[in-house]
A and B are shown apart, each in its own frame.
Chain A
Amino acid sequence: MFGIDIIFRIAGIGIVIAIVNQVLKKVDREEITTLTTLAGTVIVLLIVLDMIAQLFSTLKNMFGLF
């Protein structure tokens, strides 16, 4: 769960969301696209926040901050 594979995972999520939105547009269900975009953003945000917390805690322990 570290290094380059997360980047590909997030890029994949972005691409999948884009494709799903295109498909939804074709089936003229425009209103669902906002939901899928929101879902994608939330997933990516969770992963990002998790790693930021990890970074800040390692910094805190190592440098004795706060």
Chain B
Amino acid sequence: MEIIKIGAIGIITAICIMILKDIRSDMAVYLSIFGGLIILLMVVEELTGIITVLNTIADKAGLSGDFLSVILKIVGLGFVIDFSAGVCEDTGNKSLAEKIVLGGKISIMFVALPIVVSLFELITSLL
């Protein structure tokens, strides 16, 4: 049922933006930011259930905690990067959005580094 609400909000926001575009162009930009915000907030609320299930599965499988936390961090970073890059692109400055995406990639790499290190240690210990 949630997806219908999300779709409806998106369409209604797009229509409001169309109305506001010629009267007040800056307010239209705020509206587009707002539509994205509301949809993201609704989606994030649904994610809590998924995360708890993931945690239980990870505990059962005996997976050590930090792998899952790194994965969750990367997903969260993806959320933040996508939202802020989208906002910058909406306001028209595409180069700023690309810089945010670059910064996001670097931060994801930074978060994922310990796993790469532990992978190499695992391989060297096997050899």
Residues of A within 8 A of B (CB): 2-4, 6-8, 10-11, 13-15, 17-18, 40-41, 44-45, 48, 51-52, 54-56, 58-60, 62-65
Which residues of chain B have C-beta atoms less than 8 A from A64's C-beta? Answer: 69, 72-73, 76
Count of interface residues, chain B, beta-carbon cutoff 8 Å: 37
Q: Is the interface of B mostly helix, strand, loop or mixed?
A: helix
Which residues of chain B have C-beta atoms less than 8 A from A54's C-beta? Answer: 41
Q: How close is B17's CB to chain A, nearest CB, in angstroms?
A: 8
Given A44-B30, A64-B72, A7-B35 contact (CB < 8 Å):
yes
Quick one: which of A8, A48, A56 contacts B33, CB cutoff 8 A? A48
> Does B119 count as interface, using CB distance less than 8 angstroms?
no
Which residues of chain B have C-beta atoms less than 8 A from A40's C-beta? Answer: 24, 27
> Does B53 count as interface, using CB distance less than 8 angstroms?
no
